[in-house]
Structures are given as C-alpha cells and as structure tokens.
Amino acid sequence: MEIKKPISAKDRIILALDVDTIEDVVRYVDLLKDYVGFFKVGMPLFTSCGFEAVDTIKNHGGKVYFDGKFQDIPDTVAKTSINLMKKGIDFFSISATGGSKMMINTLNACLNYAKKQEIAPPVILAVTLLSSFGQKTLTNELCIDMNISRYVLKLAQIANEAGLSGVVAPDVDAARIKTELGEDFIIVCPAVRPTWAIVNDQIRIVSPSDAIKAGADYMIIGRPITLAHDPVAAAKLIIAEIEEALKEKEE
C-alpha cells in the first residue's frame, strides 16, 4: 500500500486531541494546525462529539488520525473500517492482537471499497501493545511468557504479513522493527514526552529526539502540548528537538 512519509519535522507530530467539546477542537485546530501533522481522534473525543469532531478538524484545515484500536471479529472490524472511509478518514488504527484474519479481512475490505470508489487506499496501522503496559502486566496479567520487546516485534511481523502499512510501537522496538521489516514499514511511536513534560499515566515513555533516532516516522504527543501554558510555544520546542534529531541522524 502506498503511503506518504513525513516531510518536515512538524508533519511527524500527531497531536492527541483528548478533549470533550467541539469548542476545544476548534480552539486547538485553529491554534496548532500549522505546527502538527495530524490531530488524533480517540475514544474520549469520539464518544463525546462523534463524527462532528472529524468534520470540524477537516473543515478547519487539519488532518485526522482516527485511533480506534478496533478489535472484534473480522467482519465487524472490516465493516467499521469501511464506515470510517465513508466519512473521509484514511489514516486509522486497529489492534494487532485481533489476529491476522481480522487484519487481512479489514485490509481487503478497505482496498475493495477504495477501488470501487476510485479513491486512495487507507493507511491502516496495527497497535501492538498499549504504552501503559510493562513486562509485569504482560506476564502476570495477560499470561504471555515472552519478553515484551519480542512480543511487540512478533505482533509487528504479523501485521506486516497481513499487509498493513505499519504499527504503533515504542521507540525501544522501532530500530529492530525497521531492520526486520524494512524502511517502508511505518512506525508511530506513542507516549512521547519531551524531557520537560510530566510523565502522567504512561510507563514506557520516550523523548521526541529518542523516537526519531530509533527510527519512528511519526510520534503521538498530547498533554505536553495541549496542557502547556502556551501550546504553540510547546509545539515549536518539540519541532526544534525533532529537527535537531533528524540532523544528528543524517550526520
């Protein structure tokens, strides 16, 4: 599937728009659309505002990443994903733990719909493991007796074999995923926090610089920008950090 690699530093930022009102959506999109690549619509915003949030972002000049992390029987996820496409969403996530059949069926359904409608196919990412999970949760609660990095890589391999565009995965696994699956396989790094930000409820966090150096193509950043006293200034600081990391990586 053809996908567009981010060009500038700001294009790599996916802003987690975890707000509850359309007024807040308008505020952040108007304020930050020139400083981030995408606005993430997740479950908190969607359950509060529905597709009005998506339409508002697009109408105010922003681009949407829909983070639904869908996991259900294959037919349900396929139909749900097509409904996103009908609403003009071409960048979204499903859960890798839903299994290969779910991922393959979803991709094929979306490709068939895109061909029928003569539109570009969507960029579908597989979420590997939530950033709030650590080794203890994986082993003791999910009863998966595997090193957490090996588990994330395995899920990425399954997603790749299913034909998906990429994965949402932590920076500690990005380099190995790129080595194993190639540069064209997209990696979105979650739980990105600049060094000056509060950690909050994430366990496996990373700085924008570390994410870039590890091989991430995009990064999801939320509260360090949205809760900053000056969101634009915070976004500019992160852009500068990304630019510096890209420069160091090239050298």
- φ and ψ at 189, to 5 degrees? -95, 120
Dist CA 177 CA 188 (whole Å): 12
Catalytic choice (69, 79, 87, 247)? 69
Amino acid at 113: Y
Collect all residues with Cβ–Cβ distance below 8 Å to 76 and sequence separation of at least 6.
none
Between CA 27 and CA 1 the distance in angstroms is 34
Task: Extract the tokens encoding 189.
Answer: 């790094």
Do 92 and 107 contact (CB within 8 A), yes or no?
Answer: no
Q: Residue type for 204, please?
A: R
What lies within 8 Å, CB to CB, of 49 at 6+ separation is 20, 21, 22, 25, 56
* Residues 225 and 25: beta-carbon distance below 8 Å: no
Report yes or no: 32 and 235 within 8 Å, Cβ to Cβ. yes
Does residue 33 have an active-site annotation?
no
Unique residue bearing structure tokens 């395995």: 154
Q: What are phi and psi of 180, to 5 degrees?
A: -75, -40
Coil/strand/helix, residue 93 = strand
Residue with tokens 């609660």: 141
User: Which residues belong to the active site?
Assistant: 69
